[in-house]
Structure 1
Amino acid sequence: NDLLAITKAVTLAVLIFLIAMFAWVRLEDFPRSLFAIQWILLIGMLGGPRFVHRILKDRRAPSLSLDGRDDRIPVLLAGAGDEAELFIRSLAASERAEYRVVGLLSERANRVGQFIRGIEVIGTVGDLAKAAARFEGTPDQPRRVVLTRSNMDGEVVRGLLADAERLGLNLARLPRMTDFKDGLTDKVALRPVAVEDLLGRPQTPLDRDAMAALVKGRRVLVTGAGGSIGAELARQICQLAPAAVVLLDLSEFALYEIDQELSRAYPEITRIPVMADVRDAGQITRVFAEHAPELVFHAAARKHVPLVEDNKAEGLDTNALGTFCVARAARAAGTLAMVMISTDKAVNPTSVMGVSKRLAEIVCQAMDVEGRGTGGTRYITVRFGNVLGSTGSVVPLFERQLAAGGPLTVTDPKMTRYFMTIREAVELVLSASALGVKSDADGRIFVLDMGKPVKIVDLARQMIRLAGLVPDEDVKIEFTGIRPGEKLYEEIFHGEEAPVPTVQPGVLLATPRLVAMTEVEAAFKQLADACRAGDLETAGAIVADLVPEFTGAIAETPISPEPTKAKKAEQG
């Protein structure tokens, strides 16, 4: 390929030189052989050293078995970009390469028929069956399909996985290009396709300058820093050069783990691990007064729906009242902005976990509106769906069940959820935070674009296939029934929250549904008393007033808004 490019460039240069000389001196006193000699010399001088270098560096004898056959594993590459070219070069540079590329499948139809380092692009990624049939019965019959691009569209990956399973082929992927840091002589180890690859989608362009400007040189506090979202927030914040990071968590072990990780990865960043409970207003106020954070990311929460259904007062106390404690402490400490992590379960909630997060949203919206007139702390709410791999989520559960040989348990065949990787979610949280600090919108909720919802049963089948097994044959899928508080379908917007686009792709703005701060303060005081007394009936009445769309149950029987208002009228 390099030699062909050099030949084309030299030919063009010699032709231009010939035309220029003819126009200038009509080639008088110029021997006609000059241009041919020049063409040969230029190709030899430019291409010769490269050719010799490649022969010495890249040319290797193929790995042969005792009977003289090539024993390398034949593979098809899905993707015909730079990563594929680099992988083919690395195989040529290896003395005992494990793989032999027999063809490439491109994501673009216009590349079919082209060659990359002598390997033909024989079809598109949708033509896997035809490509495999082309080599059937020959020594080149492929045994694996290798994804070459780390951010390949999830729908394409799911299609390749299904086709590979039907054809009896294994699906693997290349390391990212950054993993080739030691050069092409490294042995390139293929990696299994992860569930994140199945959900892959185009990378959202981020305003990293705005994110850096938000965090750089500021003191940042992260609550729930030992959890999945909190830990990833802490990692990405450390990459943006804060003045200090206060890591706040109630779990000693989780706090120790993230503090140790950050001490190794970012030794230059000042870290302050604080073991504290967001429900303890006095303790939180003291922490904020001592460390004076300029930015607060509130990720501490009880998030497991069935567990919170069994521990209703605990869920309300942590998610709703704990958020109120942190929000008031942030205002008292003069914090620039507080970012509260919410969930799609807060929309038309049917669970205590969902309604407790809706209450947290109400608090932040009310305090943001109240503080805008005085130029005080900004309160920014960011709402999104499930994140892959978080503690207590479905993916780690399926992985454990697969390791035990199954079955995989799914509540209902129609159950769907929105999914996003933790890294992507946190990147968009930081981007939305940078927007929120500068936004004129009061009390609005930033909602991350979660893409298309995914059927949980489809996710289970795909994870079984990734393990090299056949769904419903090697590993069974059992349907256990919907648990208390669960919904078949999640929503990211309430019917009255008209979505508004922002300048940041992947981030939308929800029109606010506001509750007056005086009403919030009075209701939360009563809610705190009810939760700490274990009075779920009173707690349910308060929740029904603040979140009338809640259809779950706080007390033993669901509380409707109508009796609540009647009861209040009697008391009045």
Structure 2
Amino acid sequence: MSPSTSRKSVAGVLRTLVVGAGSAGSALVRDLVRTPEFGLDPVGVLDDDPGKIGTVLPAGERTVPVLGALERLTDLALEHGVQVVVLAIPGLPHQTVRGLATAAAAAGASVRYLPSFLAALRREVVGSDMRTLDVNKLIGRHEVHVASSDARSVIAGRRVLVTGAGGSIGSELCRQVHAFGPSELYMLDHDESNLHRLQLDIWGEALLTDESLVIADIRDRPRIQQIFRDLRPEVVFHAAAHKHLPLLERHPSEAVKSNVLGTDHLVEAALATGVERFVLISTDKAADPTSVLGASKRLAELIVQANARDARNLGTGVFSAVRFGNVLGSRGSLLSVLAEQMRSGGPVTITHPDVTRFFMTIEEAVGLVLEAGRMARGGEVFVLDMGEPVRIVDLVHNFARQVSLDVDDVEIRFTGLRAGEKLNEALFSEGEERLPTAHPRIYATLVGEGAGPEDLAGGLTGLYKAADVNADEEVRRRMAVLLPGYRTPEPAPALAAPYPDGF
């Protein structure tokens, strides 16, 4: 077997299948081989020209085989352990592109596109398009292909509900779930325009006439109970949340209503209707929280973990959570703010010269959720190994270089850390143990016996009452009682937030 088709890959390099053996695909294969630091190793090419199938494309000192036709994408990707598929046929109809992307996702592979991807390799980049950036250089490590084809076993043939489906994370999760062949995919969001856009993106039409779209607010307990009774989801991915750190410092009652009470409603309904798998999406800010966002998400984790114990004792569903770092490319994320600030010629705002954050891509984030659904036994919080935290100043400089700006021309204005912000995030709290899992790049932690408040339910009841009447200071006080390590911050001053996700 030739090196190009071996199932072994160099550490940190993703096995890549190129769709298209024409001039664009051939150029891409050569560029990928010549640019190993980009982290993509072409192991094969697909093309619908029968005369090309079985031939090889020259790529320096090696060759890359043309393995088969486009219709065999899923099978060949599974056979060759492919982790990334690059669509390299310019001008493909949108419907064909959607079908190929779905076929790639069905094999657990993420998708890249030309021409912007080829431009990225040659540094002809435009900052407005995320796909043109060398993400590896921005996050300081090789992107990890997280989702395995085994994750299909959790999804295929089951009724799946995704909350917060219209958001950037929720919508990408819906695309991947759809590719894994659920019997039903229910996409829940309180924003009807987001749902319309999402259905158009996944199905190519948005008639809004079927049960797949669900308009609801997770704060509305009777509505959530009705949805679970009527739709009977078997797998639930809970992505709905408030996530903007500075705003939640100013409006802590709103954080409790959505992030804590909303999660409680969903977990309660899931237990009552026999949901098999429930995965909460949390944040690294929940580890030893210092912000309202982090505290609200830590309480959501505790709700999931407490009910996971009950579910285990009853032999029913499996409840778990994942913690994300800062997700590149998500709505309102740091990169979109950087691009806008640089495009307008204004200074780039950073809170502190030494501030660092953990970063992950949207593909890594969705992969973590799917793998958690597969590996969970109940009560775990799963975390991706994101390497070393990235200094924000370094990320800004790397971003500037990729959009062809002189680093010396980029003005940086330091605004100071805001209420609730940490200089450096952690993935686990001081009292948590990092445990290995079946996935080499995913770790987990379990809540210990006696961990958390003695009377979580009673404490939450008081918290919910305070939030219901918008008693913000009482909400802060009660959060501090429920989470003894949480420091109640001073109310945030009315300052413009340089990046809404709390970077």
Q: What TM-score do the two structures reach when normalised by structure 2?
A: 0.72
Residue 402 of structure 2: aligned partner:
466
Q: 1:497 aligns with which of 432, 439, 453?
A: 432
After superposition, the C-alpha distances for 1:242-300 in whole angstroms (9 at most, x for unaligned) are 01111111112212211221222999xx7611111111111111111111100111101
8 Å CA contact 2:350, 2:415 repeated in 1:
yes
Out of 274, 283, 298, the residue aligned to residue 358 of structure 1 is 298
AA of the residue aligned to 2:260: A
| Aligned pair partner of 1:528 in 447, 453, 464 | 464
Q: Is the 8 A contact 1:347 1:354 kept in 2?
A: yes
Q: CA separation in 1, counterparts of 2:228 and 2:17?
A: 48
Kindly provide the CA deviation profile for residues 462-505 of structure 1, in whole angstroms up to 9, marking residues without a partner as x: 111112111232x3111111111111100001111111101112
> SS of the counterpart of 1:245?
strand
Q: CA 1:529/1:118 → structure 2, altered by over 3 Å: closer, same or farther? A: closer
CA–CA separation in structure 2 for the residues paired with 1:241 and 1:430: 14
CA–CA separation in structure 1 for the residues paired with 2:261 and 2:26: 61
Give 1:434-449 correspondences, 5 Å limit.
434-436=374-376, 439=377, 442-449=378-385
SS in structure 2 at match of 1:262: helix
For 2:3, the equivalent position in structure 1 comes to: none
Query: 1:501, 1:509 within 8 Å by CA — same for their partners in 2?
Result: yes
Measured at CA, do residues 478 and 321 of structure 1 come closer, stay the same or move farther in structure 2, by a change above 3 Å? same
Q: Residues 107 and 419 (structure 1 numbering): CA distance in 2 closer, same or farther, change over 3 Å?
A: closer
| Change in CA separation of 1:469 and 1:485 when aligned onto 2, cut-off 3 Å | same
1:527 deviates by 1.1
Tell me, in whole angstroms, the C-alpha distance in 2 between the residues paired with 1:216 and 1:245.
11
* Structure 1 spans left out of the alignment, 5+ residues: 1-78, 95-99, 109-115, 122-174, 557-572
Hey, what does 2:119 align to over in structure 1?
A: 190
- Residues 520-549 of structure 1, C-alpha deviation per residue, up to 9 Å, x if partnerless? 221111111110112233323321222111
| Other structure's SS at 1:472 match | helix
- Superposition pairs for residues 508-547 of structure 1, below 5 Å? 508-513=443-448, 515=451, 519-547=455-483
Is 1:418 matched with 2:353?
Answer: no
Task: Describe the SS at the equivalent of 2:371.
Answer: helix
Does 2:126 match 1:217?
no
Q: Which amino acid aligns with 2:179?
A: Q
Equivalent residue, structure 2, for 1:486: 421
SS in 2 for 1:214: helix
Partner of 1:208 in structure 2? 149
Map 1:330-479 to 2 at 5 A. Answer: 330-436=270-376, 439=377, 442-473=378-409, 475-479=410-414
Structure 1 pair 120–207 and aligned structure 2 pair: CA distance change class (3 A): closer
Among candidates 538, 545, 552, match of residue 488 of structure 2: 552
Secondary structure of 2:290's match? coil
Partner Cα distance (1:246, 1:497) in 2? 34
Residue identity matched to 1:376 = T
Task: State the one-letter code of the partner of 1:279.
Answer: R
- Residue 504 of structure 1 aligns with an amino acid whose one-letter code is H
Distance 1:177 1:346, change over 3 A: closer
Going from structure 1 to structure 2, the CA distance change for 1:403 and 1:292 (only over 3 Å counts) comes to: same
Is the helix fraction higher in 1 or 2? Answer: 1
**Native 8 Å contact 2:453 2:483 kept in 1:** no
Larger displacement relative to structure 2 (516-525 or 543-552): 516-525
Q: Following superposition of structure 1 onto structure 2, how do residues 14-53 of structure 1 map, counting pairs within 5 Å? A: none
1:325-348 deviation per Cα after TM superposition (whole angstroms, max 9, x unaligned): 111011112111211001000011
| 1:345 and 1:354 in contact (8 A); partners too | yes
What is residue 176 of structure 2 aligned with on the other side? 236
* CA distance, structure 1, for counterparts of residue 115 and residue 238 of structure 2: 43
Retained in 2: the 8 A contact 1:496–1:511? no
| Map of 2:217 onto structure 1 | 277
Greater relative CO, 1 or 2 (CA 8 Å, sep 6+): 2
What percentage of aligned pairs have identical amino acids? 37
* 2:88 aligned partner: 179
Is the CA contact (8 Å cut-off) linking 2:143 and 2:364 kept in structure 1? no
Alpha-carbon distance in 2 for matches of 1:300, 1:106? 38
Q: Which has the larger radius of gyration?
A: 1
After TM superposition, give the deviation of residue 356 of structure 1 in Å. Answer: 0.2
Q: Give TM-score scaled by structure 1 length.
A: 0.64
* Superposed structure 1 runs of 4+ greater than 6 Å apart: 81-84, 91-94, 105-108, 116-121
Number of the residue aligned with 2:241: 301
Q: Which residue among 233, 245, 249 is the counterpart of 2:185?
A: 245
How far the C-alpha of 1:427 sits from its partner, in A, is 1.0
CA distance in 2, matches of 1:388, 1:458: 15
Aligned amino acid, residue 400 of structure 1? E
CA contact (8 A) 1:246 1:272 kept: yes
Aligned mates of 2:405, 2:426 — CA distance in 1: 33
Q: Which runs of 5+ in 2 are unaligned?
A: 1-12, 39-56, 63-83, 93-113, 126-131, 493-503
Q: Does 1:316 align with 2:256?
A: yes
**Aligned residue-pair number:** 401
Distance 1:490 1:118, change over 3 A: closer
Residue 263 (structure 1) aligned with residue 263 (structure 2): no
Q: CA deviation at 1:107?
A: 6.2
Alignment partner of 1:483: what SS? coil
